Amino acid sequence: MGEAALSARSSHYRPRSPQTSQYYQCIEDNFETFERVYDERFSRQYGFFRPFVKDVMYRYLDCGDLHRGFARIRCPDCGHEQLLAFSCKRRHFCPSCHQKRVVEFGEWLCMEVVKKVPHRHVVFSIPKILRRYFLYDRSLLSDLSRCAWETLKTLYQCVSGEENAAPGAVIAIQTFGDLLRFNPHCHVLVSDGCFYETGSFKVAPPPDRKGLEKLFRSKVLNLLLAKGKITPGTITLLDSWKHTGFTVFCGERIYPNDDTAMENLARYIIRASFSQERMTYLRNEATVVYKAKKGRETKTFDACEWLAAMCSHIPNQGEQMVRYYGYYSNVCRGKRQKEKTDDAIPCIIKTDAASPARRRSWASLIQKIYEVDPLTCPQCKGAMKIISFIEQAEV
Instruction: Give the Cα separation of 265 and 107 in Å (integer).
Output: 11
Phi-psi region of 364 (alpha: psi -120 to 50; beta: other; left: phi over 0): alpha
Q: Give, as one character, the DSSP assignment of residue 277.
A: G
> Tell me, what's the pLDDT at 29?
98
148, 326 contact by CB (below 8 A):
no
pLDDT at 344: 59
How big is the chain by its Cα radius of gyration, in Å? 23
Q: What is the mean pLDDT of residues 8-32?
A: 78
| Between 349 and 287, residue with greater pLDDT | 287
Given pLDDT bands bounded at 50, 70 and 90, which one contains residue 13? low
CA distance 355 to 351: 9
Which residues face 254 on adjacent strands?
119
Give me the percent of the chain exceeding a pLDDT of 90.
65
How does residue 18 score in pLDDT terms, banded at 50, 70 and 90? Answer: confident
Q: What is the number of helices (H) and of strands (E) in the chain?
A: 13, 13
pLDDT above 80 (res 342)? no
pLDDT digits (tens, 9 = 90+) for 271-297: 999 999 999 999 999 999 999 988 789
Candidates 394, 392, 393, 384; CA nearest to 82 is 384
User: Residue 167, SS3?
Assistant: coil
Contact 30, 307 (CB under 8 A): yes
Largest CA distance in the chain: 75
Rounded Cα distance between 17 and 24, Å, is 10
pLDDT in tens, 202-216: 899 999 999 999 999
Confidence at residue 114, expressed as pLDDT on a 0 to 100 scale: 95
Phi-psi map region of 39: left, alpha, beta (phi>0 left; psi -120 to 50 alpha): alpha
Dump pLDDT digits (tens) for 60-92. Answer: 999 877 666 667 777 777 767 776 667 889 999
Give the model's pLDDT for residue 162.
82
Q: Residue 74 has what pLDDT?
A: 74
Give the rounded percent of residues in the chain with a pLDDT score beyond 70.
Answer: 82
> In DSSP terms, which residues pair with 97 in a beta bridge?
none
The confidence score (pLDDT) of residue 369 equals 44
pLDDT at 293: 86
Report which of 305, 313, 217 is spatially closest to residue 274, judged by C-alpha positions: 313
C-beta atoms surrounding 180 within 10 Å: 22
Is residue 385 over pLDDT 50? yes
Q: Is the model more confident about 63 or about 377?
A: 63
Q: What is the mean pLDDT of residues 165-172?
A: 96
Assess contact for 56 and 90: CB atoms under 8 A. yes
Indicate the pLDDT class of residue 356, thresholds 50, 70 and 90: very low
Handedness of CA 112, 117, 121, 124 (dihedral sign): negative
Q: Say if CB 97 and CB 88 are below 8 A apart.
A: yes
Distances in Å between the Cα of 189 and the Cα atoms of 91, 104, 250, 267, 360 are 21, 17, 10, 11, 22
Helix, strand and coil percent figures for the chain, each rounded to 5 = 40, 20, 40
Amino acid 268: pLDDT: 98
Lowest mean pLDDT among 118-127, 185-194, 229-238, 350-359: 350-359
Average pLDDT, the chain: 85
Find, among 44, 48, 238, 47, the residue nearest to 130 by Cα: 238
d(CA 363, CA 375): 6
In sequence order, which ranges of the chain are alpha helices (DSSP H)?
Answer: 2-8, 22-41, 43-46, 51-62, 95-112, 128-136, 140-160, 209-226, 232-239, 259-268, 303-311, 330-339, 362-370
User: Residue 382: what pLDDT?
Assistant: 73
Residue 363's pLDDT is 47
Range of lowest pLDDT (49-63, 212-226, 322-336, 349-363): 349-363
Q: Is the pLDDT of residue 349 over 80?
A: no
What's the rounded mean pLDDT across residues 86-112?
Answer: 93
Render pLDDT for 310-332 as a digit per residue (tens, 0 to 9): 999 999 999 999 999 999 999 99
In contact, 144 and 126? CB cutoff 8 Å: yes
Which of 13-22, 130-139, 142-151, 152-161 has the lowest average pLDDT? 13-22
Residue 116 has pLDDT above 50, yes or no: yes
Collapsing DSSP states into helix, strand and coil, what is residue 11?
coil
Grade residue 360 by pLDDT with cuts at 50, 70 and 90.
very low
